[in-house]
Structure 1
């Protein structure tokens, strides 16, 4: 056999590849939709989100307090 394919075999191969590609694209769409569902991610990781928000609030609050202390000239430690 010389390896040459008939036009009918080539068309069948193209159609099979097209069908496989359509399935792969649909699968990818589903995975992308799942990965970008931020509400679902929040529901799945509620505890971690609450801890992260608390830490961020603590850091931001401390930074604001330190900044206002610098602006008003107050210091947190006293010198004797």
Structure 2
């Protein structure tokens, strides 16, 4: 069965509306996910644990570098 031109136009219009709605949802989600302040508020504990871990890694790296430099003298 072949569709009429009007049915095809209607189908295309529905597809355009659906695509526009999906695109708007994607934009909103992108803005939400890229808002670091919002993400920090939502995941405060994980952010603090990550900051502490990074501090230990950087502190240990600096201590090792200092010891290595001191050992070369």
Normalised-by-shorter TM-score class? 0.7 to 0.9
Q: Which runs of 4+ in 1 moved over 3 A?
A: none
In structure 2, the partner of 1:59 is 57
In our comparison, the structure showing a higher alpha carbon Rg is 1
Offset at residue 64 of structure 1 (A): 0.9
* Structure 2 runs not aligned, ≥5 long: none
In structure 2, the partner of 1:26 is 24
Please, what TM-score do these two structures have when normalized by structure 2? 0.81
Offset at residue 41 of structure 1 (A): 0.8
What is the number of equivalent residue pairs in this alignment? 72
* Structure 1 runs not aligned, ≥5 long: 75-80
Offset at residue 68 of structure 1 (A): 0.9
Offset at residue 40 of structure 1 (A): 0.9
The answer to which structure has the higher helix fraction is 2
Root-mean-square deviation over aligned CA pairs:
1.7
Aligned ranges 1:1-80 → 2 under 5 Å: 3-73=1-71
Please, what TM-score do these two structures have when normalized by structure 1? 0.75
